[in-house]
Amino acid sequence: MRLAPLQRTDRFSASSVSPKSHAPALKQTMEDKLASTLWNIQQRNLGEPEFIQAVKEVLGSIGTVLAKYPKFTEQKIIERICEPERQVIFRVPWQDDRGEVHINRGFRVQFNSALGPFKGGLRFHPSVNLSIVKFLGFEQIFKNALTGMPIGGGKGGSDFDPKGRSDDEVMRFCQSFMTELSRHLGEYTDVPAGDVGVGRREIGYLFGQYKRISNRYESGVLTGKGLSYGGALVRAEATGYGLGYFVQEMLAARGESLEGKTCLVSGSGNVAIYAIEKVTQLGGKVVACSDSKGVVYDEEGIDLPTLKRVKEVDRLPIETYVRYRKQARYQGGGKLWEIKCDVALPCATQNELTGKDAEALLKNGCMAVAEGANMPTTPEGVEKFVKAKIAYAPGKAANAGGVATSALEMQQNASRDAWSFDYTEKKLANIMKDIHDRCLETADEFGVPGNYAQGANIEAFIRVADAMQSLGLI
């Protein structure tokens, strides 16, 4: 069951709100305290730029919250929320098909469980380090809070690269990884899912090893599972579909729709593919997508069966797409965001959309940007979108459909039930509409109308902070 949205009058009793909570002097005092707090957090987390970037992004939104609710400052909620409850780093030894031994590093950051068990994906990619995992886990706290589901925030992964590895090699790695990680998991403790480099194949191997070690068929300990052993319909599509629904709501709030809009989607993985699918179903036309090597442009609209064949079946670079679609063009190292569009959906990786990219999009008439990836827009890019007053939605709101559907999978596992595709998708659509509406309402309440980024940060922060305050100093 989803948690009911917090009522504005329920967030704190009147006695906890200062009678001068909106006075400019108090607001400035809170801003000064935030600056001091941020400096201390930076000193405690040196060499972790992605994590500090994520913290700055949230702290930059909540000065008015602290002015209105001084108890959050008194109880050091910010300091507590920025310090993970637990950080686990471990060695992952495994053998390849030639018998050569490899050593990778595994991570699980259990960030905040005020709202429920830790929930967040596992990422297998060479770029994974502690800063990346902490930034993702920190974002996950607020993303999960926005869903209204009873789940806390966490994240994990490894610097292992599954690309080019055989199924047997991936299996051996996953078994070694789970051998250590299993002692930190449980359906009431920590429930991982997939992320970059971790799909149903990897989840299957991970769940098999957990089952073997624990001697329990604990379906709810991992989400993103195959349908034959406890997975949920719509889970594979959820992040991309949810992004499409969110964009639809953003445009509707401005008297527009996706019908006939030209769209760009960066990436060509799971999130990008299903974002393209849902946007197309809603009447939009996606003309370009990408991978790490280049950009494909198809003026007639990206052909989904072809894209799925290239990326999901053959697992080949995006340039292969043009072999099947002769009118399409491929540019190695191409600049996706310079293509004219109405809607831009960054779905690849963090910090992929820069300030210069934002300028190009705005110059070409882009009216909406919604993030399918986690923190894909740099601070300079975000600043330009907000200043231009286009519809801009951060990943913690726009891509929350994935974790929301993971929580729905947990519900099905707990009740030994299985829901239909249509029933689950309808729940997803309702959740995304609710997230959209609450972000807008909160932005209005705190004096930044139309600002989804601040609305999302404030709404999520208050929800988590209220739970932390209620649970005491733990």
194 in a labelled binding site: yes
- Pinpoint the alpha helices (H) of 109-199: 130-147, 167-181
What CA–CA distance (Å, rounded) separates 221 from 213? 13
Which residues are CB-contacts of 304 (< 8 A; sequence separation ≥ 6)? 273, 276, 277, 280
Residue 349: alpha-carbon gap to chain centroid: 10
What's the rounded Cα separation, in Å, for the pair 94 and 310?
29
| Tokens representing residue 120 in the block | 């967040």
CA torsion 61-62-64-69 (nearest 10°) is 160
Question: Is the CB of residue 14 less than 8 Å from the CB of residue 474?
Answer: no
Strands 86-95 and 118-124: unpaired
Select from 227, 233, 282 the least CA-distant residue to 258.
Answer: 282
* Residue type present at position 69: Y
* Secondary element (H or E) of residue 458: helix 452-471
- Would you say 140 is a known binding-site residue? yes
Q: CA–CA separation, 425 vs 237, rounded Å?
A: 9
Strand partners, 288: 264, 297
Contact (CB, 8 A) for 287 and 341: yes
CA dist., res. 248 & res. 257, Å (int): 6
Q: Which residues pair with 345 in a beta bridge?
A: 265
Burial group, residue 160, by CB count within 10 angstroms (0-12, 13-18, 19+): buried
413 is in an annotated binding site: no
CB 120 within 8 A of CB 181: no
The one catalytic residue among 20, 71, 76, 155: 155
Place of tokens 């797409």: 321
Half-sphere exposure of residue 397, counting CA atoms within 13 Å on the CB side?
Answer: 31
Q: Is 155 a catalytic residue?
A: yes
Backbone angles phi, psi at 290, to 5 degrees: -155, 170
In angstroms, the CA 141 to CA 461 distance is 9
Annotated binding site for NAD(+): 239, 270
Annotated binding site: 119, 140, 143, 194, 239, 270, 406
Annotated binding site for substrate: 119, 140, 143, 194, 406
Active site residues: 155
